[in-house]
Amino acid sequence: MLKKNKKFDNDNEFEAGKITGQKRFSMASSTESRDQRTVIGEHIFIEGDIRGEENLLLEGSIKGNIDLGAHNFIIGSKGRFEGEISAQNLGVSGQLVGNVKIQEKVKFTKEADFLGNIRAKSISVEEGAFFKGFVELDREPHRKAALTGKSLDSEVSELDKPSVVSLDRAKSEN
C-alpha cells in the first residue's frame, strides 16, 4: 500500500524550496485542485509528451513537451528539461532548453540554466542565473495605446506613410 508523504499533506502552496532544500519559491493557488501536485524524482527519465491538470515538480529529466494548462511547473535544481512548456507559471532552478509559453510569470533562480524562447506576462531572473534566449512579454493591447496617448490605428497608419520626403532632402543636401 502506498502512503502519502507528510511533506505534501499540510501546505497550500506549490513550493520547490520545501522539497529540494533550495531558497523558497512559491506560487500560491486559489483552488483545491491546484493543491494537487506530482513530483518526478531525480532518478526518473521521461521521453515523450505530458499533459496534466495539476502542478508538477521536476527533479529528474524530461525530453518532450509539457502542457499543464492553468497549473504550475517547477524545474528543481536537479531537474533537466528539453522541449516546449505550456503552463500557468514556471519556476526554474535546474536546466531548461526549449520554448516556453506561460500565462503569467516565469521565475529563474540563481541556479537556473536556460537556453530558448519565452512568452509570458512577466519574468524575473535572479543574479547568477545563466540565461540565453529571447523574451516576449504579453500585455493588454489597450494598455500600449494608452501609454503612448495614440490609438493603435493611428500608430499603424503612421508606420505606413512613406518617408520619401526625408530621403529627397538627404539627396538634395549632398
Phi, psi dihedral angles at 114 (to 5 degrees)? -125, 140
**Is the model's pLDDT at 96 over the cut of 50?**
yes
The structure's pTM equals 0.64
Cβ atoms 111, 91 nearer than 8 A: no
Cβ atoms of 91 and 71 within 8 Å: the answer is no
At 13 the pLDDT is 38
Query: For position 164, what pLDDT does the model report?
Result: 45
- Nearest C-alpha neighbor of 118 from the set 140, 144, 92: 92
Q: Please report, rounded to a whole number, the percentage of residues in the chain having pLDDT higher than 90.
A: 57
* C-beta of residue 94 within 8 angstroms of C-beta of residue 81: yes
Domain ranges of the chain: 6-138, 140-174
Give 101: exposed, middle or buried? Use CB within 10 Å, 0-12, 13-18, 19+: middle
Q: Report pLDDT for 139.
A: 80
Model confidence at 37, in pLDDT bands (50, 70, 90)? Answer: confident
| pLDDT tens, residue by residue, 115-168 | 999 999 999 999 999 999 999 998 866 655 555 555 555 554 554 444 444 344
